[in-house]
Structure 1
Amino acid sequence: MTGAERRAQLKAQLSTSTSPISATMFAKQFGVSRQTIVGDISLLRANGVQIVATLRGYQVEDSTSPTAVLVCRHFPNDTADEMQRIIQAGGVIKDVAIEHPLYGQLRGELEIGTLGDLKLFLARVQQHQGHLLSELTDGLHTHTIAYDTPTQLAAIKTSLKAAGYLYQS
């Protein structure tokens, strides 16, 4: 199988899948390395396929939900509470971004939409002794939030504001 044929199959599977598929699963399926799959995904993205990386694997981006960018600020130990508030109000945390003085905007894809996703994210932070992007900016960061209704967005903002996480200058 050629690389182009493999990428066509990757695209087809991702387009029809209802759940994320990991690079490791694809690597086993196609008999190639995980890094080869990561490269294939990069090439598909470069050709305009909207693929996002989630904690559970790759999926085609769902662009049907409206999104909003919220500016937040809090200490690292408040991260779980902030994210849980967004999820419980019906939001999906698409990403986190900061404005870095040297590199400009730094963005990390998250795609956290369930409490299970949040637990997995927090476990990986702990497992890898990871640092949050917001630690580089004294807690100031943005999240792109997907939601279904304006009522959900209002509830998200209200909850974040009540906790003191919604940044207001």
Structure 2
Amino acid sequence: MSEFSESYHLKTDKQQIVVELIKGSNKQGYVFPEKNGWVTFILKGQAFNIDESIISLNPSVLIHYIYAEDHGWDLRIFNKSEIAFEYGCNWTEEIQIEKSHFDLYFLNELIISQGNSTDGIESLFDIDEDIFDLDEPPAFLIAQKLGLTYYEWLSEDYIDLSDLAENILLVD
């Protein structure tokens, strides 16, 4: 089975801010515990589309992360309601890279704030057929450098409801 992951990551140390963001946008979703200054969340019924109501209410830095193992990956970073970084790579047919708003300075600042090095970061976005020979895909390496904890095999379809009582909040 191929991985299809989609998640949002808000730069905050408070789960409640994300709960209020989801409620304020009249959405439903799942909110994960804070790790490394990020609170991860998934929206219900959002099939790989950015939710404009979430963006319009965004109080901080927000990452929208998509990884589709057999197809490609996308990374969008918003500073409040403004796009600060946007990248997409599709390899369904042939490798196509889209750098709509490629602000490496902004991305590097986020990476440095996690105490991570930015050495070689740009090369992770300029990929070719060698991507399929890597131990970890560039999407994972970028997520790790940004300090994201919850990003692999993460979407509404993969949520284990038995985890809800333990550490994942349901916003209904």
Asked if these proteins are the same fold (TM beyond 0.5), I'd say no
Q: State the structure with more CA Rg.
A: 1
- Higher relative strand content: 2
- Higher relative helix content: 1
